Amino acid sequence: DSHLLPDGGASGPLIIGAPSPRAVTAAVSSALAAHPGPFRCVHLTCSTMEEHRGELSRWLDILVAKGVKELVFVNRPWPMDLRLPSTLFSCASLTRLYLGVWRLPDTTTVPRGARFPNLLELGLCMNVMEDRDLAFMLDRSPVLEFLLIMWSQTGVRLRLVSQSLRCLQLALTCLQYIDVVDAPRLERLFQWETVPRAEPTPPGNKKRPSWIKIGRAPNLRVLGYLEPGGQELGISNTIIVFICPWCIAGWEQGEHCP
């Protein structure tokens, strides 16, 4: 597709964050409009979406109307808090959704009937999101099985009530707390390189550890990775295998962690 660039690509790859040539934007619009649908998989990434607010609305309208199944939608690289159009919440056909570098819509303005009835997998990467907006997305995803939260721009405070979720992963983010209230199908809860709660502490005191509370999760079998002093755990009525990040290799070979 180098013929879409002003110099035919002679200057090398397009720099991420540089203004997108209009020919590229027009080609995307043309491809989406010409496709008969449904879309099995669409990736819209590597573009500063603020430049394309008009096209952005049309693209989402087309994807919703033509029943996109899998969507990876990334506003790269800035502004890092561009508001995600709420049109996306009317896309009932989605089974897999990854959102990156957005501010989630104010869900108080989203229509009551908005939901993701077929969504199985959700990834939220480097987004700005209020607690109520994350709770809204989970509540409106009745068959969701896999949730990933990575590099969240805001501290993660998750109160988990889900009848379908089987795996929760958090990575490279500030984790304040996870409260697993009722998750009967949850089997795995992974958190890796999470930062403890970013709350003011008295001078000389250590940062407060993240808080993980496990209530009703009868099928939870794996909880990791845990670091000494990094988490406060509250667990009831659950048998769990704890994974130590330093000993995982030896454990897989049948050796016991000391």
The pLDDT tens digits of the residues spanning 191-232 come to 888 877 555 555 555 566 788 899 999 999 998 887 776 778
pLDDT score of 202: 55
pLDDT exceeds cutoff 70 at 16: no
pLDDT exceeds cutoff 60 at 256: no
Q: Could you write out the DSSP letters of every residue in 159-200?
A: EEE-SS--EEEEESSBEEEEEEEE-TT--EEEEESPBPP---
Mean pLDDT over each residue of the chain, to the nearest integer: 84
- The torsion region of residue 243 among left (phi > 0), alpha (psi -120 to 50) and beta comes to beta
pLDDT exceeds cutoff 70 at 253: no
Instruction: Say how many Å lie between the first and final Cα of the chain, rounded.
Output: 56
pLDDT score of 108: 82
pLDDT score of 5: 75
The pLDDT of 109-119, averaged and rounded, is 89
pLDDT exceeds cutoff 70 at 38: yes
Contacts of 233 (CB under 8 A, 6+ apart): 212, 213, 214, 226
The pLDDT of 149-155, averaged and rounded, is 89
pLDDT score of 139: 93
Higher pLDDT, 232 or 185: 185
pLDDT score of 251: 45
pLDDT score of 17: 61
pLDDT score of 29: 92
pLDDT score of 246: 53
Which of 75-79, 88-92, 235-239 has the largest mean confidence? 88-92
pLDDT exceeds cutoff 60 at 144: yes
% pLDDT > 70, the chain: 82
Query: 143 with 117: CB under 8 angstroms?
Result: yes
% pLDDT > 90, the chain: 44
Q: Give the pLDDT band of residue 81 (cuts 50, 70, 90).
A: confident
Backbone angles phi, psi at 92, to 5 degrees: -75, -15
pLDDT exceeds cutoff 60 at 112: yes
Q: Give the pLDDT band of residue 179 (cuts 50, 70, 90).
A: very high
Q: Which fold has domain 36-196+207-252?
A: 3.80.10
* Rg of the chain in Å (alpha carbons): 21
Contacts of 53 (CB under 8 A, 6+ apart): none
Contacts of 154 (CB under 8 A, 6+ apart): 128, 129, 130, 174
Domain boundaries, the chain: 36-196+207-252
pLDDT exceeds cutoff 50 at 90: yes
Q: pTM for the whole thing?
A: 0.84
Query: 112 with 133: CB under 8 angstroms?
Result: no
Say if strands 96-100 and 222-224 run parallel, antiparallel, or are unpaired: unpaired
